[in-house]
């Protein structure tokens, strides 16, 4: 399924009350090729002025202001953020954000890795989940923060990322996958030591491992590599833009 060129963002459809989750597409911004056009990644090589313009445009059309994001490093660190430390946390080297505050949009930047958004009754978390972060337990670490605040995740959203048809990996990577997340049911052997890896299934398994019911996990049908309208690091050989996916609890 593709995105219309008039569509600058998509939303999760089955979120709990007051939870908003949005993902930008690649349409409607100011960046030129190869970042065209709504590039939301500050660390991609794009002209920084274009990225800033893209954020102004995007935040205006989505009414999602003061988005906090990170300088992602494919690790498992999840940082706690609030209104007081948001400026300090912005662009920190980490791959996850967590907050107990309302009306504070937290987000991750992706172009094949999965955005995984988690909501409890009080807290929320946004996670950048490539295979390394997943394997290192970034979802486990987020769940520990919910527990710290006496909260329990009740919903998760797995957004647009590379699909099981496009993500071919070698057997040396397969051997490193965390057995707790049942990688055996996420793999399809293609021969000569190569496998297709279903990252959305792997993230789902990690969420279930941490206690979330599969009925409370929403998985987007969009693929960053197969659905036109998104950025794909693999498809575009590493030189491309990024989407941003945000979660916030909106209390008016």
Strand partners, 219: 158
pTM value is 0.97
Tally DSSP H helices, then E strands, for the chain: 6, 13
* Angle 101-109-228 from CA coordinates, rounded to 5°: 125
- Render each residue's pLDDT in the chain as its tens digit; 252 residues: 789 999 999 999 999 999 999 999 999 999 999 999 999 999 999 999 999 999 999 999 999 999 999 999 999 999 999 999 999 999 999 999 999 999 999 999 999 999 999 999 999 999 999 999 999 999 999 999 999 999 999 999 999 999 999 999 999 999 999 999 999 999 999 988 999 999 999 999 999 999 999 999 999 999 999 999 999 999 999 999 999 999 999 998
Cα–Cα dist 135/203, whole Å: 10
Q: Where are the domains of the chain?
A: 9-161+199-249
Fold topology of 9-161+199-249: 3.60.140
Q: HSE-up of 59 (CA within 13 Å, CB side)?
A: 16
């Amino acid at each position: 399924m593709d995105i219309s060129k008039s569509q600058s963002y998509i939303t999760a459809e089955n979120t709990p009350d007051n939870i908003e989750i949005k993902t930008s597409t690649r349409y409607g911004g100011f960046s030129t090729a190869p970042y065209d056009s709504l590039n939301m990644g500050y660390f991609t090589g794009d002209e920084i002025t274009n990225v800033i313009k893209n954020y102004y445009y995007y935040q205006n059309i989505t009414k999602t202001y003061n988005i906090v994001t990170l300088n992602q490093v494919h690790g498992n660190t999840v940082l706690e953020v609030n209104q007081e430390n948001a400026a300090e946390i912005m662009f920190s080297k980490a791959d996850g954000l967590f907050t107990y505050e309302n009306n504070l949009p937290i987000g991750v930047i992706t172009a094949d890795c999965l955005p995984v958004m988690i909501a409890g009754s009080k807290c929320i978390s946004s996670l950048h989940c490539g295979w390394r972060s997943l394997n290192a337990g970034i979802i486990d670490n987020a769940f520990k923060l919910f527990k710290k605040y006496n909260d329990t995740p009740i919903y998760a959203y797995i957004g647009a990322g590379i699909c099981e048809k496009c993500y071919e990996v070698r057997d040396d990577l397969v051997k490193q996958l965390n057995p707790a997340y049942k990688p055996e049911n996420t793999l399809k052997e293609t021969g000569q030591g190569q496998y297709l890896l279903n990252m959305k299934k792997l993230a789902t398994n990690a969420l279930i491992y941490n206690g979330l019911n599969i009925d409370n996990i929403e998985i987007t049908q969009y693929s960053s590599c197969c659905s036109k309208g998104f950025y794909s690091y693999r498809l575009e050989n590493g030189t491309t833009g990024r989407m941003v996916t945000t979660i916030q609890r909106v209390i008016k």
